Amino acid sequence: MNGLRPTSRTRGAKRDDRLEARPQMKPEQPQEKSVQEEIIELRKQIEWHSKLYYQKDSPEISDWEFDQLFKRLLELEAQYPHFVTPDSPSQRVGAAPSLEFKQVTHRIPMQSLQNAMSEAELVAFDERVRKAIEKHKEITYVVEPKFDGLSASLTYENGLLTIAATRGDGSTGEDVTANVRTIKSIPLRLDFKKNGKRRPEPASGQTLDLFADLEDEQVESILEIRGEIFMPIEGFNALNEARAAKNEPLFANPRNAAAGALRQLDPKVTASRPLDFSAYAIGESKGIDVNSQWELLALLKELGMPVSDLARKAIGIAAVIELCREFAKNRDSLPFDIDGVVIKVDSFALQAELGEISRSPRWAIAFKFPPRRETTQVVGITEQVGRTGTLTPVAELAPVRVSGVVITRATLHNEDELRRKDVRIGDTVEVQRAGDVIPEIVRVILEKRPQDSKPFVLATQCPSCQGPIVRSEGESARRCINASCPAQLKEHLTHFASKRAMDIENLGSALADQLVDKGLVRNVADIFYITYEQLLTLDGFADKSATNVLASIDVAKQRPLARLITGLGIKGVDEGLARVLADEFHTMEDLEQAALTPLEANSKAEDPLLNITDVGQVIALSIRDWFAQDSNRAMLTLLRNAGVRMDSDVSIIERDDRFLGKTFVFTGTLTKFGRKEAEELVRQRGGKTSSSVSQKTDYVVAGTEAGSKKTKAEKLGITILSEQEFLDMLQD
Ligand SMILES: [Zn+2]
């Protein structure tokens, strides 16, 4: 996850144990029983540690160690697919893509709620409830936040998540089980036994025995849990930022983003999106014994389901209204979007008595918050230059307060959107905080348009550098193509120093602006050559602040390769892909070499970039383009000369002089381990690995069906090892 190093040597020892055991395994008689035991043990550990991590936020092991457990499980399951079970944590990374969603009929329809748009309507609702049950005393209600996401139904059979479906039209939804399995807060298996009794929580330090009482649980139990799938605002922002960096269209709000993520035919895409879930109801159920909504929420929580801790009990409608006001007041400070409050009669007996009316329950109502829109005037239209040169038209607004936040600008997204909405300077417009994040213009109020107004004409030159602007066919973005455009450089420098890249503390956009404007930085590498005296010439800098910035810059020199790659700002290479590239190539030199290898020299299958699962044609081309530019390679030289680290975290567990500093290339099929595992064994001993053969290669390990790499190694006179010889080398 983030390159943490192992804290002890025990892992290395474990690996060696396995290694010694392996060669004795005969392929025709695999020790299936011990493999199954290992798989079960791994799953238990992974479930336990991810529970600590995701639900309790108190991990006991490092991310690196967790990744190792996970990798081992994936490896074993790939080798022994018949041991894969639907509740294996491996299913969370996403199953194979499907062509369409299957339909699921809800055995109990998922009803929609009546809405209340005002407090008066809440009072009327309470009167109807009390009249219907002929009681005049105060009713006990449960008041819950109304998540702005998508309703979903999760069916657990004997504690196991078997079907997840969207609400659809209420009676038929879509089967999104594979996608929902990737949502980490949703348990794949409930701590559930018959009669709703739960399995005891293991004491700290003990592992959770998920497979105990398995026979006992053959008693049939069904529990259909309903709730909302949503995307937290922080995750939504990060997703949109990543999309902006890749020039992909942005999601308008977290709900749209959640819907887009859930309706992916490829569950791996869903797995990469930050979805969350909050349970609030049950549908069909057997073996559950609760009498009220309040008890139900408590039970769901006990079973391990995520349940909002914002739910409150209220006696009488006055108390309900008080809570609604509180929710409305606090909605902006919540880490997720809510679009209202749901009010339910607490008692299930009363709910049954009240029944339903025109497909809505009579015992519940949704209090909707008023939309967050205001009108204001457009005082100007400008274009912002992004890190990759993308121009985003922005409406400059007369300041207006929209639900607590003063808005002075609203995005117009791109040229087409500007044309479609026909926003003009002087227009009165309705603005809203879309998804509470990026303010946008909802519509132009045409009645208020000045008579002499003219359609806005976009500039033909970059507002920052006056360079030419192009719009490529099939792209929605206009782009400044001047490589030394100062606006792009400012954005790039800010990105380079950001938390996700080189993490240079104290270097934000304000300092980046000054450094570029004063000509102290002409490319991001220059930041490592800034002097104390130069910093003192900047506005607001004194001895202490200058010293602090220099110290932060110095610390950043030691960031691992993945962060440096992220910081380079290669189009299409985000944090995730940067990590993949760093894991694959380990040094900047090897990545550069791969990117500069002429494409013709390799068949597609042999291309070191295209060989990586996550790299497609477009990204491979983008990486090649980047390294092909002289200015970029010159920048790398500057970075290198400044002492910036150019390799990834290597955890040498067992230093071995025969491996130390030697470069290994693997080719063909290995029988005793996967290629990744073999490469890791080399690196753990201090060796290096590469995906292509060159003069710098020390050993080529050739498995069966070794191809052109072996031939090339023979030509270059490089030592070729058989798998057995490599194995002997490891074990001596
Ligand atoms: Zn420009």
Could you give the residue numbers annotated as active site? 146
What confidence tier does 630 reach under pLDDT thresholds 50, 70, 90?
A: confident
Q: For position 205, what pLDDT does the model report?
A: 40
- The 3-state secondary structure of 182-241 reads CCCCCCCECCCCHHHCCCCCCCCCCCCCCCCCCCHHHCCCEEEEEEEEECCHHHHHHHHH
pLDDT digits (tens, 9 = 90+) for 133-152: 887 688 999 999 999 889 99
Among 152-161, 529-538, 607-616, which stretch is predicted with the lowest mean pLDDT? 607-616
Query: In the predicted model, what is the mean pLDDT of residues 238-266?
Result: 80
**Confidence check: pLDDT of 543 > 50:** yes
What confidence tier does 207 reach under pLDDT thresholds 50, 70, 90?
A: very low
* Cβ-contact 560, 644 below 8 angstroms: no
Angle between helices 561-568 and 486-497 (to 10 degrees): 160
User: Do the two domains 483-556 and 561-641 of this chain adopt the same fold?
Assistant: yes
Quick count: other Cβ atoms within 10 Å of Cβ 330?
12
**Confidence check: pLDDT of 243 > 50:** yes
Query: CA-to-CA distance for 330 and 511, rounded, in angstroms?
Result: 34
* Cβ-contact 316, 130 below 8 angstroms: no
The highest-level CATH class for domain 114-192+211-368 is alpha beta
Closest of 462, 500, 497, 129 to residue 316, by C-alpha: 129
Largest alpha-carbon pair distance within the chain? 95
**Confidence check: pLDDT of 106 > 70:** yes
DSSP 583-647: HHHSBHHHHHHHHHS-GGGS-GGG-TTTTSTT--HHHHHHHHHHHH-HHHHHHHHHHHHTT---B
**Confidence check: pLDDT of 407 > 50:** yes
Query: CA-to-CA distance for 712 and 74, rounded, in angstroms?
Result: 33
| CA 471 to ligand 1 centroid distance, Å | 14
* Cβ-contact 370, 379 below 8 angstroms: no
| CA 461 to ligand 1 centroid distance, Å | 8
Query: In the predicted model, what is the mean pLDDT of residues 224-233?
Result: 94
Tokens 């829109």 belong to residue: 373
Tokens 């970075």 belong to residue: 639
Query: In the predicted model, what is the mean pLDDT of residues 232-258?
Result: 80
* Four-point Cα dihedral 551, 552, 554, 555, nearest 10: 120
User: Alpha carbon 422 to chain centroid distance?
Assistant: 35
* Cβ-contact 677, 75 below 8 angstroms: yes
> Under DSSP, is residue 297 helix (H, G, I), strand (E, B) or coil?
helix
Q: What percent of the chain has pLDDT over 90?
A: 34
Average pLDDT of every residue of the chain: 82
Distances in Å between the alpha carbon of 720 and those of 308, 577, 698?
60, 31, 9
Query: CA-to-CA distance for 76 and 4, rounded, in angstroms?
Result: 24
Which CATH superfamily hosts domain 663-731?
A: BRCT domain (3.40.50.10190)
**Confidence check: pLDDT of 662 > 80:** yes
pLDDT digits (tens, 9 = 90+) for 273-298: 999 999 999 988 877 778 999 999 99
Residues 6+ apart with CB under 8 A from 495: 245, 387, 501, 567, 569
- H or E stretch covering 245: helix 233-245
| DSSP 8-state symbol, 526 | G
Distances in Å between the alpha carbon of 450 and those of 373, 427, 516?
22, 7, 40
| CA 384 to ligand 1 centroid distance, Å | 10
- H or E stretch covering 494: helix 486-497
The more confident residue out of 343 and 217 is 343
Each domain of the chain, given as residue ranges in start order, spans: 10-84, 114-192+211-368, 373-478, 483-556, 561-641, 663-731
Among 89-93, 94-98, 309-313, 393-397, which stretch is predicted with the lowest mean pLDDT? 94-98
pLDDT digits (tens, 9 = 90+) for 674-717: 777 788 888 888 888 887 788 888 999 998 888 788 888 889 99
Q: For position 148, what pLDDT does the model report?
A: 87
| CA 624 to ligand 1 centroid distance, Å | 23
Which CATH superfamily hosts domain 561-641?
A: 5' to 3' exonuclease, C-terminal subdomain (1.10.150.20)
CATH 1.10.287.610 for domain 10-84: yes
Among 236-245, 397-406, 416-425, which stretch is predicted with the lowest mean pLDDT? 397-406
| CA 481 to ligand 1 centroid distance, Å | 7
What confidence tier does 451 reach under pLDDT thresholds 50, 70, 90?
A: very high
**Confidence check: pLDDT of 17 > 60:** no
| CA 480 to ligand 1 centroid distance, Å | 5
Greatest mean pLDDT range, 53-57, 219-223, 355-359, 491-495: 491-495
Quick count: other Cβ atoms within 10 Å of Cβ 310?
16
Q: Which two tokens stand for residue 120?
A: 């008066």
Q: For position 600, what pLDDT does the model report?
A: 64
The more confident residue out of 718 and 438 is 718
| CA 487 to ligand 1 centroid distance, Å | 6
Query: CA-to-CA distance for 418 and 426, rounded, in angstroms?
Result: 15
Query: In the predicted model, what is the mean pLDDT of residues 473-498?
Result: 87
> Under DSSP, is residue 441 helix (H, G, I), strand (E, B) or coil?
strand
The more confident residue out of 294 and 617 is 294
Q: For position 29, what pLDDT does the model report?
A: 42
Q: For position 602, what pLDDT does the model report?
A: 54
Region of 506 please: left (phi>0), alpha (psi -120 to 50) or beta. left
Closest of 387, 253, 497 to residue 261, by C-alpha: 253
Distances in Å between the alpha carbon of 590 and those of 585, 663, 678, 689?
6, 11, 18, 9
Distances in Å between the alpha carbon of 431 and those of 399, 401, 445?
11, 10, 11
| CA 457 to ligand 1 centroid distance, Å | 18
| DSSP 8-state symbol, 168 | T
| CA 392 to ligand 1 centroid distance, Å | 12
What confidence tier does 28 reach under pLDDT thresholds 50, 70, 90?
A: very low
Instruction: Give the architecture-level CATH label for domain 373-478.
Output: Beta Barrel (2.40)
| CA 390 to ligand 1 centroid distance, Å | 9
* Four-point Cα dihedral 453, 458, 464, 467, nearest 10: -150
Q: Which two tokens stand for residue 327?
A: 């929710």
CATH 1.10.150.20 for domain 483-556: yes
